[in-house]
Amino acid sequence: MYDVIIIGAGVSGAASARELSRYKVNACVLEREEDVCCGTSKANSAIVHAGYDAAEGSLMARLNVEGNQIMPELARELDFPFNPCGSFVVCLDEESLPDLRTLYERGVKNGVKDLEIITDKARIKEMEPNLADEVAGVLYAPTAGIVCPFNLNIALAENAYTNGVDFKFNTEVTDIRRIEGGWALETNQGVYETRYVVNAAGVHADKFHNMVSGTKIHITPRRGDYCLLDKSAGNHVSRTIFALPGKYGKGVLVSPTVHGNLIVGPTAIDIEDKEATATTREGLDELIAKAGMNVKDLPMRQVITSFAGLRAHEDHHEFIIKELEDAPGFVDCAGIESPGLTSCPAIGRMVAGILKEKLGLEPNPQFNGSRKGILDPDTLTKEEQAELIKQNPAYGNIICRCEMVTEGEILDAIHRPLGARSLDGIKRRTRAGMGRCQAGFCTPRSMELLHRELGLPMTEITKAGGDSKLVAGTNKDRI
């Protein structure tokens, strides 16, 4: 029997696992997909929000600000990309300036530092030359930033794993029932028993909550469509640009990414199907129509891909993080929508704090909070690159030409803790396949590396686990 089982390996589950690994505990994460970061955590805006948007006094507001403050040090400890670039909320008309002031005052009450309302148009244009000409003012939040959501999630999970937490992939929880001393989790891989359950199942968290509690919750999957633009458009803005909802409606954000692209989105479309992550023509049309509301001359012809993610919108628009009164031993980590990515370090601390108290956990003397990410040769000098290639020739073999990803990086991605087992696993860890050609060139070469390093038959290699196989058979089989 485990002490704790966490359902879900997104940022909330991984952050909880990492914080829990600070203690002597027998813990496990169950994930229905083939890798970490396969749900909401992989398809979002990648924004580290400052904290002025959530309602004053809410758990969402508190954890947003706390997570924002933790993020810079966490990025150093776990070696993932983070850029404190700041953000603007753009007001397009004088009559809406009081709404900007309301956001400012809420942010101050929430504890956001260094907020500023700027109405000097010359200064605004100097800071962001491509903002709409009719801008009346902006709320400037210098503590906001951007992050790589994949590497954040992967880093948290790897660090939890190296500190003793088990991870079970392709393991879908189908039922939860009370047993003596804890819970039994029925899965497609058998039964797992545990003293405590942490429900970090994203859009499916209401299903597990409602299995054990008489007080029901309801989560609506809210789809957000995005467009990702080529790196040639990456400098169009230098900060995250948000729209202030007003008489022109609610716009979409425009933001640089930590890897040099430009992202535009999301829409907010409530749906019923919790697996419906495909973009729609209507959603993309809405996105493109709103894209130029606050930022002019957006080069939308430079779009290299579009995608959609689902936010776990709980009916009361609030994080639910607590042990259930009518189900002792079951800890909810539910309703984690935006700013969930920003809040995840604080969410992890809160969940681990609940379990520490309930289980009487002692510190883990072997805990190591540091992790080294995959080496990016571009961060080295020419001399250092030459020496690296001399020591390991795989770093001189380019696999992905768009992103200049080497064989050495992909081998690291495959063989490191919780390593890649699919093309998407490689992509999230190295960016191979995320460039202009969208994996048109590097797919067969990445498949060859998975085949060679893991001994997987080509017919068993998948894009994203499950039935997403790419090769049906060999030519000789058809003769």
Q: DSSP string spanning 27-61?
A: EEEE-SSSSSS-SGGGSS--EE--SSSSPTT-HHH
Please state, in angstroms and rounded to a whole number, the distance separating the CA atoms of residues 465 and 39: 13
Please state the pTM of the whole predicted model.
0.96
| CATH class of this structure's domain 83-145+220-314 | alpha beta
What CATH number does the domain located at 2-41+150-217+316-359 have? Answer: 3.50.50.60
Residue 247 has a pLDDT of 54
Q: Judge contact between 312 and 241, C-beta under 8 A.
A: no
Residue 246 has a pLDDT of 63
Compute how many other C-beta atoms are within 10 angstroms of the C-beta atom of residue 238.
17
352-358-362 Cα angle (round to 5) = 65
* 2-41+150-217+316-359 and 83-145+220-314: identical CATH topology: no
Sequence-distant (≥ 6) Cβ neighbours of residue 365 within 8 angstroms:
none
Sequence-distant (≥ 6) Cβ neighbours of residue 398 within 8 angstroms:
404, 405, 406, 407
pLDDT tens-digit map of 283-338: 999 998 898 899 999 999 999 999 999 999 999 999 999 999 999 999 999 999 99
pLDDT tens-digit map of 415-430: 999 999 999 999 999 9
DSSP labels for 248-312? TB---EEEE-TTS-EEEE---EE-S-TT-----HHHHHHHHHHHTTTBSS--GGGEEEEEEEEEE
Task: Tally the C-alpha atoms within 13 A of residue 205's C-alpha that lie toward its C-beta.
Answer: 35
Please list the rounded mean pLDDT of every run of 10 residues in the chain (479 residues).
Answer: 98 98 98 97 96 96 98 98 98 94 97 98 97 96 98 98 98 98 98 98 98 98 96 97 75 95 95 94 90 93 96 96 98 97 98 98 98 96 97 98 97 98 98 96 97 96 96 79
What element of type H or E holds 224?
A: strand 219-229
Domain boundaries, the chain: 2-41+150-217+316-359, 83-145+220-314, 377-454
Residue 476 has a pLDDT of 76
Residue 49 a catalytic site member: yes
What element of type H or E holds 127?
A: helix 121-127
Residue 187 has a pLDDT of 98
Q: Judge contact between 264 and 253, C-beta under 8 A.
A: yes
Sequence-distant (≥ 6) Cβ neighbours of residue 460 within 8 angstroms:
469
Please state, in angstroms and rounded to a whole number, the distance separating the CA atoms of residues 325 and 334: 15
pLDDT tens-digit map of 165-223: 999 999 999 999 999 999 999 999 999 999 999 999 999 999 999 999 999 999 999 99
Please state, in angstroms and rounded to a whole number, the distance separating the CA atoms of residues 419 and 428: 11
Residue 289 has a pLDDT of 86
Measure CA 199 to chain center. Answer: 17
How long a stretch of residues is the chain? 479
293-45-295 Cα angle (round to 5) = 20
Residue 414 has a pLDDT of 98
Specify the DSSP class assigned to residue 236. Answer: S
Q: Judge contact between 335 and 318, C-beta under 8 A.
A: yes
pLDDT tens-digit map of 281-290: 999 999 988 9
